[in-house]
């Protein structure tokens, strides 16, 4: 009786499907975290408080305009002049019609600074603007304001 076979033992092979699953899960994780990391929590901005409001659904690529106490405008931690902000908003509006903007203004900033940013958004044909507030703690809530173009007589 012969118990040995002529077949040689196969070497372990690389499992490509398992590796693809792991890479796909990592990709999903990093894409998800990068979207949520776009909230610009700037330390220098103390948001006004509000008793009511809801956390709006975030859109990918949503632009967040920060206004500090002195009226300095920042996006992605880069300072913008009013002219540069207008140019950026016009470019955004031409590419993505109806794209929303979130305004995060310090509660001690002048009202005129907020109005300047709103006016810049209107000039750039951006009408969907949300305002970030501090709601009973550190949770942020946005108030969606649909600024429809109207004629004032």
pLDDT tens string 10-66: 777 777 888 889 999 998 887 776 655 555 554 466 666 666 656 656 565 678 899
Whether 126 maps to a domain, the answer reads yes
Strand, helix or coil at 23? helix
Whether 10 maps to a domain, the answer reads no
Whether 5 maps to a domain, the answer reads no
Checking DSSP bridges between strand 140-146 and strand 101-105, what pairing results, if any? unpaired
Checking DSSP bridges between strand 101-105 and strand 63-67, what pairing results, if any? parallel
pLDDT score at 113: 93
Into how many domains does the chain fold? 1
Q: Are 103 and 129 in contact (CB under 8 A)?
A: yes
Checking DSSP bridges between strand 101-105 and strand 78-80, what pairing results, if any? unpaired
Edge-first strand listing for the sheet containing 78-80? 78-80, 73-75, 63-67, 101-105, 128-134, 140-146
Whether 11 maps to a domain, the answer reads no
Work out the pLDDT band at 92, boundaries 50, 70, 90: confident
Whether 57 maps to a domain, the answer reads yes
Whether 88 maps to a domain, the answer reads yes
Quote the domain boundaries for residue 76: 17-153
Per DSSP, 83 falls in state H
CATH classification at residue 116:
3.30.420.270
Per DSSP, 51 falls in state S
Whether 3 maps to a domain, the answer reads no
Q: Can you tell me the mean pLDDT for 109-119?
A: 92
Whether 47 maps to a domain, the answer reads yes
């Amino acid at each position: 009786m012969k118990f040995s076979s002529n077949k040689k033992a196969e070497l372990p092979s690389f499992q490509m499907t398992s590796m693809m699953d792991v890479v796909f899960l990592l990709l999903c994780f990093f894409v998800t975290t990068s979207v949520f990391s776009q909230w610009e929590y700037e330390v220098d901005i103390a948001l006004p408080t509000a008793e009511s409001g809801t956390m709006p659904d975030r859109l990918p690529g949503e632009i967040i305009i920060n206004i500090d106490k002195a009226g300095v405008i920042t996006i992605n931690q880069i300072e913008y002049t009013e002219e540069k902000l207008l140019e950026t908003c016009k470019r955004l509006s031409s590419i993505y019609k109806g794209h929303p903007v979130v305004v995060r203004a310090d509660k001690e900033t002048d009202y005129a600074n907020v109005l300047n940013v709103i006016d810049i958004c209107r000039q750039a044909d951006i009408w969907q603007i949300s305002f970030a507030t501090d709601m009973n703690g550190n949770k942020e809530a946005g108030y969606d304001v649909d600024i429809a173009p109207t004629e004032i007589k």
